[in-house]
Amino acid sequence: MEGGQRGSELFQARDQDTRARNSQTKYIQSTVANVEKHFGDLCNLFAACTRKTARLRDKSDLLVKAVREYADAETPHLKYGLSSFADHFALIQDYRHAEVERLEAKVVKPLKKYGSITKLKREDLRIATDAIKRETKQLVQVEKLRLRNPSDRQIVTQAENELHRVSMDATRVSRQLEETIDDFQQDKIKDLKKIFGDFITIEMSFHAKALEVYSNVYQHVQNIDEESDMEIFRNTLHLQDHQARLSIVSANSASVINGTSSALVTSGTSKPQQVCKKKQEDDDEDDGDDDDEDDEDDDDDGDDDDDNGDDEEEDEEEEEEEVKTK
């Protein structure tokens, strides 16, 4: 009776130890799963930020190239200001490139290694869980043997010895798992502290250098002399206009000179013809005057003929009267 009571107490004690180890294992499993999930998310997001920064660096390099190309076509002071901006902005992209490399080495890579670390911890958890399951199974078997054959001490003793062995194995594995998960938790805290500290340091370093460069280039841009550039622009504009007018005047002068030469050539060849023509016109005028005088003489002759005709008619009438009288 005392042996059965002592065995029952032993069973209860071992059952409590098994439950405690099982609960501990579940907590460790939850911790590892939590780290695996959230560290994976952090790694993906930090990697995405790093890639975005790298793309920003590449786009900024294109902006530097475009500003330099545009600066070559501008007035001197504006060209100097834009070129200074491009040079300083290119320097910032060098800092950004260093930022990308440091983020990949000191932030993304340490977070990424936790993928393999959590896999190892899961394997340790699996070993501990199997040991606890064997212990629980053997404990149930011993209790059944005690209930079925309480008088068969040999079988019960063998079962208890096996239970003791698996319990010791489960205890050893659980202790190792506890030590392992303790180191895991400590390393996790240290790593997170270092990872986030490095991230902050990297970003502070980049932004401090970028702020210094931006401050310098701001002064260069603000020192662009607008009035001098406008004066240069207006002078160039007027010079272009003056050159255009000179070109027009030169073209007109050439046209006038060509026209005068053609006129001189034409007048030299046609001068005798013009003299002859003028002389002929003078002769025609003189002939016209003579014809007018002849016409006047003819009119006087006509008047004389009319007077003679009248005298003849009077003579004929007188003769007719004389005949009638006879």
The total of other beta-carbon atoms located within 10 Å of residue 98's CB is: 14
Average confidence score pLDDT of the chain: 79
Give Cα separations from 2 to 128, 141, 150, 191 (angstroms).
34, 20, 12, 55
Instruction: Please check the confidence at residue 296 and state whether its pLDDT lies above 60.
Output: no
DSSP character for 223?
T
Q: pLDDT band for position 264 (50/70/90)?
A: very low
Residue 3: pLDDT band by 50, 70, 90 thresholds? very low
- CA separation for the pair 81, 84 (Å, rounded): 5
pLDDT bucket at 1, cuts 50 / 70 / 90:
very low
Structure tokens at 135: 């212990």
User: What six digits make up the tokens of 165?
Assistant: 């062995």
pTM more than 0.95: no
Asked if pLDDT for residue 190 goes beyond 90, the answer is: yes
Listed ranges 72-76, 260-264, 283-287; the one with the highest mean pLDDT? 72-76
Give the position of tokens 């065995």. 7
pLDDT: which is higher, 313 or 233: 233
What is the tens place of the pLDDT at every residue in 193-243? 999 999 999 999 999 999 999 999 999 999 999 999 899 888 888 876 556
Q: Which amino acid is at 173?
A: V
Task: Identify the weakest region by mean pLDDT among 113-117, 191-195, 290-294.
Answer: 290-294
Q: Which two tokens stand for residue 168?
A: 């010791």
Alpha helices in the chain (DSSP H): 2-71, 76-103, 109-112, 114-148, 153-222, 226-325
For residue 219, give both structure tokens. Answer: 């002064």
pLDDT class of 275 with cuts at 50, 70, 90: very low
Instruction: Dig out the tokens for 94 from the structure.
Output: 């060098």
pLDDT the model gives residue 255: 60
Asked whether residue 114 carries a pLDDT value surpassing 80, the answer given is yes
Largest CA distance in the chain: 229
